[in-house]
Amino acid sequence: MSLSIGIHDLSLATGEFVLPHTALAAHNGTDIGKYHVGIGQESMSVTAADEDIVTLAATAAAPLIARHGTDRIRTLVLATESSIDQAKAAGIYVHSLIGLPSATRVVELKQACYGATAALQFAVGLVRRDPAQQVLVIASDVSRYDLDSPGEATQGAAAVAMLVGVDPALVRIEDPSGLYTADVMDFWRPNYRDTALVDGQESVGAYLQAVEGTWKDYTEQGGRTLEEFAAFCYHQPFTKMAYKAHRHLLNYCGLDTDPDTVTAALGQTTAYNRVIGNSYTASVYLALAALLDQADDLTGKSVGFLSYGSGSVAEFFAGTVVAGYSNHLRTDAHHEAITRRTEVDYAAYRALHEHRLPADGGDHATPAQTTGPYRLAGISGHKRLYTTR
């Protein structure tokens, strides 16, 4: 009998501040319907000057450590596309902040928004090789586009931490996976830029092509039929993209795309992304968190996952929700992470957006803004300095 391996626990974190799309619309004169209806976004998380992917990741992971301890964690994989260093893995800072043992493997993975799914699948493989161990997978990103650019309205920031092991309490990850890679330039960020470049029309097309490609491979590998899934978690650069992608998949399979069918499959997966914004690698797992936190009872139900990362790599896989999962959810904590954010006006958001760490190698403290458990206290000699509250 094959091992049951999957997501044993899941926790999310997001930024200190929130910018409502009404404020963005007032600034640039956009009809609010373009945001609320057109792309399906209401607000976006904004990080404080003393927050980054490390503080978000540690904040998301700390509750998992508090509940389960560190004894079985032998590997930490942090997936991000907003990395802070070209050499040192951001996860090493997290490893220190949350108190993991020195006998731990730590790596960082990158492939646009797909990276966390690669991390999850690698974790499943490691656990299959050594069932005694658990793997801590963290997706952490701060989405940043140029001010007054088309992508500005889709920004966001969040981290999702997942503990992967045998006999999971939440979701069992199934074989097989459907895979798809294509060399396209729909979204990218060269090393010399700190904001991403995006070709919106190209990206939508590349995403939909990836939906077809992953599903074709998934079925050829002997996967489930579309009708077997109770819900679908899509990567959400904006929540309406999930709806567009699912209609495309239904069309591709020759099935009806009536609104009630699509809403039933996706409606409960968009709640967190709609108010947080695009969190890149964390997006599809925010969708899972929202689904588990809201659905009446998913016990024994199959959930489809479509993970897409521009450039592009995509994967479709299935998970089955296990009995008793609702006893292990962090619904209240997730709601608190979202509702605790302080609303900012456009001027304050713009100042935060334009904030940069000095690059002169001197000693520089960061403004004390976050009320979270970890903060980026400053930089000295080009070294980032983190503190625990």
Q: What is the CA 169 to chain-centroid distance, rounded?
A: 20
Residue 178, SS3?
strand
354-372 pLDDT tens trace: 999 999 999 999 999 999 9
pLDDT of residue 226: 96
Average pLDDT, whole number, for the chain?
97
Residues known to be catalytic: 81, 113, 235
Please say if the pLDDT value at position 218 is more than 70. Answer: yes
61-117 pLDDT tens trace: 999 999 999 999 999 999 999 999 999 999 999 999 999 999 999 999 999 999 999
CA neighbor of 339 nearest in space, from 9, 15, 10, 11: 15
For range 131-136, the mean pLDDT = 98
CA–CA separation, 72 and 166 (whole Å):
11
Percent of the chain with pLDDT over 90: 97
305-336 pLDDT tens trace: 999 999 999 999 999 999 999 999 999 999 99
pLDDT of residue 194: 87
Please say if the pLDDT value at position 2 is more than 90. Answer: no
The tokens 């792309």 sit on which residue? Answer: 39
Please say if the pLDDT value at position 26 is more than 70. Answer: yes
Tally: H helices and E strands in the chain: 12, 17
For range 20-37, the mean pLDDT = 97
CA–CA separation, 192 and 331 (whole Å):
39
For range 5-17, the mean pLDDT = 98
Percent of the chain with pLDDT over 70: 100
pLDDT of residue 200: 85
pLDDT of residue 121: 98
Q: Are 325 and 299 in contact (CB under 8 A)?
A: yes
262-301 pLDDT tens trace: 999 999 999 999 999 999 999 999 999 999 999 999 999 9
pLDDT of residue 285: 98
Assigned fold of 5-388? Peroxisomal Thiolase; Chain A, domain 1 (3.40.47)
DSSP 227-296: GGEEEEEE--SSHHHHHHHHHHHHHHTT----HHHHHHHHGGGSHHHHHH---GGGHHHHHHHHHHHH-S
Sequence-distant contacts of 182-190: CB under 8 A, at least 24 apart = 182/206, 182/209, 182/210, 182/213, 182/312, 183/311, 184/310, 184/311, 184/312, 185/311, 186/310, 186/311, 186/312, 187/112, 187/310, 187/311, 188/310, 188/311, 189/81
CA–CA separation, 276 and 121 (whole Å):
25
For range 21-31, the mean pLDDT = 97
pLDDT of residue 1: 63
R_g of the chain computed on alpha carbons: 20
The tokens 């980026």 sit on which residue? Answer: 376
For range 173-189, the mean pLDDT = 96
Please say if the pLDDT value at position 59 is more than 80. Answer: yes
